[in-house]
Amino acid sequence: MSKDSKPNSAFNAAANSKVHHARLEDITQFTPEKINHLRRGGIRNGAGRTNAEMQQMLNKVPSSQSAGVDGQSAAKSVKQYLSEKDASHIKSHNRGGSGHSDNIKLENKSINRARGDRNMTRQEQRNLNFTAQFENLTGAIKAGFLAAPKGAVIGAVTTAPFSMLRNGLRVARGEISAQEAAKETAKETGIGAGVGAATAFTVTTVATACPPIAIALAAISPALWIAGGAGLTYEFFKILGDQRKEVKAYYESMTEQELEYLSQVEAELIYEHEKTMSVLDEQQQVTDVIVNRPRESGVQGALQRYMESRQIYHSLQNTSDQSKSLKYSRQNLLSPMTE
């Protein structure tokens, strides 16, 4: 997998991770029936809470339980969470406790009603705080798991085209087979999907559990889109640039091989030519010595001339077929003399 594909998958998956925490206007618009829960929850008599106090009540909902991908889904999450909760008084209303948000904790209906009019103990308060933190954590993890498949798809889509292009060019260059290219592409696409899923899970989980992170994510999302797009553009041109370099190196290598081959052929031709010329020179020397000697008449002169030619031949260490010819001639010539 290209080292550029992993950050591209991560950037694109992060840019597509959307986390929105519910606001009062979202509750008013999408789940207006729950506005009264925030306005009058825990208040027996008198006017309801102001918008600022209602926002404080909304903030008591664990962050992950008031989150969604947009205002509508976030408002529905709040509605679902509050459907099983009461606005419980830390100091009982019957014992002088106020309906101010500082004296209120969100608690399961059955537990709150079983307490009656007694005050909430410190242990019960700690238990509620722990429960809220646990609900925040589990809700954030759940949101992360829900976002992971989308991140995997984004990571795979980000990686696959470039992996196919890169490995296709490798097949064209003869570096790998088509089957190997298919396996490598599938492997790289799987890694890209894993990177996208992990990024989406991590970013969504953290942003869901921590509203400031969600706000920061929304602020930098355009930059992440730009970074992801720029990364894809860079990777595309880098693949083409690498292809040009590989092709250039290939042809330069071929040229060097061809030149080396031609040099070897030329050296062999020169060697064979010199060898042939050397043999011809030796043969010419033998011919000159044998032919240009004085000739004497008669059989005795011919025999003497033959013996001298034979000695000259052996002195030059010539083992060509001429040797056989001379030997055959000697047998033919010497037989009559013996008789």
Confidence of residue 296 (pLDDT cuts 50, 70, 90): low
Given a contact cutoff of 8 angstroms between Cβ atoms, the answer to whether 93 and 99 are in contact is yes
327 or 37: whose pLDDT is higher? Answer: 37
Q: Give 87's contacts (C-beta < 8 A, 6+ positions apart).
A: 37, 41, 42, 57, 99, 104, 105, 106
pLDDT of 324 above 60: no
* Global confidence as pTM: 0.69
Res 312: pLDDT: 67
Q: Which amino acid is at 112?
A: N
The pLDDT value given to residue 176 = 87
What per-residue confidence (pLDDT) applies to 333? Answer: 39
Pair 144, 201: CB distance under 8 Å: yes
Per-residue pLDDT tens for 229-274?
A: 787 787 777 777 877 787 777 677 767 776 677 778 878 888 887 8
Please, what is the angle between helix 211-291 and helix 5-15, to 10°?
160
- DSSP secondary structure, 45-78, as one string: SS----HHHHHHHHHTS-GGGGEESSHHHHHHHH
pLDDT at 308: 72
Q: Where are the domains of the chain?
A: 5-246, 272-338
Higher per-residue confidence, 192 vs 316: 192
- Residue identified by tokens 């949101």 is 143
User: DSSP state, 295?
Assistant: P
Token pair 């399961």 is at which residue?
108
* Residue 158 near residue 196, CB atoms below 8 Å: yes
Q: What distance in Å separates the CA atoms of residue 28 and residue 339, rounded to the nearest whole number?
A: 144
Q: Tell me the pLDDT tens digit for each residue of 141-153.
A: 999 999 999 999 9
Tokens of 143: 């949101």
In tens, the pLDDT along 33-75 reads: 999 889 998 887 777 899 999 999 999 999 999 999 999 999 9
Residue 331 has pLDDT above 50, yes or no: no
